[in-house]
Amino acid sequence: MEILGLLFDGVLIALQPLNLVLILVGVTLGLFIGAMPGLGSVNGVAILLPITFLVPPTGAIIFLAAIYYGAMYGGAISSITLGIPGASTAVATTFDGRPLAMQGRASLALVTAAVASFVGGTVANIIFTGFAPLLAGVALSFGPPEIFALMLLAFATFVGLGTDDIPKTIFSICFGLVLGAIGFDQISGAPRLVLFDINGFLQGIGFLVLAIGVYGIGEMLWTIEQTRGEVENTTPKMTAKGMVADTAEATRKGWKGMGIGSLLGFFVGILPAAGATPAALMAYGVAKMTSRRPQNFGRGEVDGIAAPEAANNSASTGSMLPMLTLGIPGSPTTAILLGGMVIWGLTPGPRLFIEETEFVWGLIGSFYVSNVAALLINLAFIPVFIWMLRMPFTILAPVIFVLSVIGGYAATRDMFDIWMILVFGLGAFVLRRLDYPLAPAVLAIVLGPIAEPTLRQSLLLSQGDPTIFFTRPIAGPITVVAIILILLPALKLLRPRKPGRDGAA
């Protein structure tokens, strides 16, 4: 009852006129920041951080947290409407969101993303409110072996993200891991795979550069090649009745993905150095593995949108937990928020809940208010996003190209990234024509830079003994489950095929 009382006081603080205005402005800004390729929540929060010194500390972090919330919602917009991920957290949404939009069901895809985001945020807020101190201890118990075991479990779902051609899927994974290894070694500091001594490779391959190239340029080239530019616009106008019907359909078809994404996203989000991107990708893989219609994923499956969208919003709330309770940021965005808290004279840690009760519960209360505000604002703007899709493809294709280039340049302001976007776009087009799955390569470049250093750190801790992944109480079960999932495709290959109806083997 004490927690409910504190939460009620926190919601009242969030509903104060100044804080409510900051939430509405922050969510709206975040929505469009998240939708712009190359920006994302990290850049949005960093750019707008100086503005917060004009308001009290509680209002300042409420404003920045609202931007974070809005950006998580907004990342799905360009992923669905243009096929360009607005941020790395929305890449998994592209897998099914864009195909559904191409079928004339963009409204269903956008509504599913909005509802799933709301569900994920709500579930995460409830868990955060009730179990923050306990879960902070769990997050602290995750060392390098546990993080690597979790990444191994994510890799185990990769095979399910490709086609039935296992060798091509494995090739795609290995190709992504190689791209993720380019640049400076995180442990030794030595340069690796710097092709032709080009200095641009020293900074590594940016994940957003790869995603924009593959799903922006590559998808545009594929569409042009398949349709010769004559794309029939089947996107209907959005009506209030249609939105209600889409909401009901999204809830009916996507409830399972929402549940998986909400729970998995939160627990991955609370882990230091994990964040919303791995959470969304893992949720997509688990949703496909547990689906009765896995063959529909990648073709416009509602669960394929619901799972990653619920996960990235849930993870964004989860990443706040180690920041507030331990002073350890759970994502790049919360690292910036942590820096802001220090500037405002607040010391994150266990005593923050005791010494700064009004600040902490005002922030937690704002999570609930921001989540509702983000849902309403997002739904209100869906007709605008649908209108964008109704443009002729002869106009839409150049817009996609320009946004891809601008988005890639905005992230690092390096022309090398622009050339890499074009190379990845052409490469993705060729691989798609050869029927190679692209999703495993994209996911591998995300998790590879997390898995490799944690593997090496774990082996350093155990003096080279790999049993450390099996003997630790948390890492052991996760590793065993991951190995079983990895071996399942091999068992399917060894299983003799049943003869067809015509009697042929």
Domain segments of the chain as ranges: 1-492
Q: Which pTM does this prediction carry?
A: 0.80
- Who wins on pLDDT, 359 or 119? 119
Model pLDDT, residue 503:
45
Q: Which residues, 6 or more positions from 478, have their beta carbon under 8 angstroms from its beta carbon? A: 146, 149, 150, 152, 153
- Per-residue pLDDT tens for 214-255? 877 887 787 777 666 555 555 556 666 777 888 888 888 888
Whether the pLDDT of residue 328 is over 80: the answer is no
Whether the pLDDT of residue 453 is over 60: the answer is yes
195-234 burial: b if 16+ Cβ within 10 Å, else e: eeeeebbeebbbbbbbbbbbbbbbbbbbbeeeeeeebeee
Whether the pLDDT of residue 50 is over 70: the answer is yes
CA separation for the pair 311, 319 (Å, rounded): 12
Model pLDDT, residue 308:
93
- Who wins on pLDDT, 264 or 337? 264
| Average pLDDT rounded to a whole number, residues 174-195 | 84
Of 57-71, 274-288, 337-351, the one with minimum mean pLDDT is 337-351
Own/partner contacts of 177-185, CB < 8 Å, gap of 24 or more, are 177/444, 177/445, 177/448, 179/205, 179/210, 179/441, 179/444, 179/445, 179/448, 180/204, 180/205, 180/444, 180/445, 180/446, 180/448, 180/449, 180/452, 181/448, 181/452
